[in-house]
Amino acid sequence: MPEPRITDSHCHLDFPDFDDERPQVIARAHEAGVARMVTICTRLRTEPQVRAIAEANPTVFYAAGTHPMSAAEEPMATADELTQIARHPKMVGIGETGLDYHYTAETASVQQESLRIHIEAARRTGLPLIIHARAADDDMARILTEEHRAGAYSCVMHCFSSSRALAEAALGLGFYLSMSGISAFPKSGELRDIFAAAPLDRILVETDSPYLAPPPHRGKRNEPAYTAHTARVGAEVFGLDYAEFAAATEANFDRLFTKVAAWEHAA
């Protein structure tokens, strides 16, 4: 019997970690039931390479933006630029963008400017915003809320591992939370409790590969196939069998990433 279908909503297939075996990595994902992957461009100058991976693989889609840790090193993106890129049929999300004060607090103002530009692009395109948040909960909640009041947009808090307060702020705006391998770590009980308190219809799963491999692969290179390990933990968190949880996260992904379903239908 085939594995239930799930989607890795956030990975980095263009990273050199996968250069030697990208086709095999994608094939292993399919074998594990990971039927679709969204690979994320973190610097707009690499967008052509990320796009090419999506174009070459029917089950791979992509998103593009400037990662907050790179915001001060890269040319500032414009909403026009992001909107132009979003015309590609397999470009399905804006980002990742966000705030990271853990490693790059000194560039906070640049990160905030970049974040607001990406939010404007998400509004214009109707594509979901993909948020990276680390050690910046107060500013993140404030900016997301201010901008949502100025004009609605959809959003996923990728690899969510922040506070309950930020989770509640994001959920209150209608946003989604994504479970990564961190959710499956033995010491992440408090994070699992935050997810357990969230509505099931706002949950996605992801790897953020090549980073953050879940058990039993922790400490090794992560890859999209391992989404299944995190999803099994997610099923336990919500008290569901795996097939039920997989079906729920698939419905959530399709509701948020509407362009994926449109491309699949056209194909």
107 within domain boundaries:
yes
Instruction: Please enumerate in sequence order all residues whose Cβ is within 8 A of that of 133, keeping only pairs 6 or more positions apart, or say none.
Output: 98, 99, 100, 140, 157, 160, 162, 166
20 within domain boundaries:
yes
Tokens of 22: 């990208």
pLDDT at 106: 98
- CATH number of the domain enclosing 240: 3.20.20.140
Q: Indicate the annotated binding residues.
A: 10, 12, 96, 132, 158, 208
1 within domain boundaries:
no
Q: Indicate the annotated binding residues for a divalent metal cation.
A: 10, 12, 96, 132, 158, 208
Cross-strand partners of 63: 40, 93
pLDDT at 266: 85
179 within domain boundaries:
yes
Domain of 135, in residue numbers? 6-266
202 within domain boundaries:
yes
pLDDT at 162: 95
Kindly report, residue by residue over 130-158, the tens digit of the pLDDT.
999 999 999 999 999 999 999 999 999 99
57 within domain boundaries:
yes
DSSP the chain: -PPPPEEEEEE-TTSGGGTTTHHHHHHHHHHTTEEEEEEEESSGGGHHHHHHHHHH-TTEEEEE---GGGTTTSPPP-HHHHHHHTTSTTEEEEEEEEEEHHHHGGGHHHHHHHHHHHHHHHHHH-PPEEEEEES-HHHHHHHHHHHHHHS---EEETT--S-HHHHHHHHHTT-EEEE-GGGGSTT-HHHHHHHHTS-GGGEEE---TTS-PPTTSTTS---GGGHHHHHHHHHHHTT--HHHHHHHHHHHHHHH-HHHHHHHHH-
The percent of residues above 70 in pLDDT, for the chain, comes to 100
pTM for the predicted model, two decimal places = 0.97
pLDDT at 165: 98
pLDDT at 2: 79
Structural domains in the chain (count): 1
Tokens of 18: 């996968």
Kindly report, residue by residue over 8-31, the tens digit of the pLDDT.
999 999 999 999 999 999 999 999
pLDDT at 177: 98
Residue 1 has pLDDT above 90, yes or no: no
Rounded mean pLDDT of 120-134? 98
The percent of residues above 90 in pLDDT, for the chain, comes to 97
Rounded mean pLDDT of 44-71? 98
178 within domain boundaries:
yes
Kindly report, residue by residue over 185-200, the tens digit of the pLDDT.
999 999 999 999 999 9
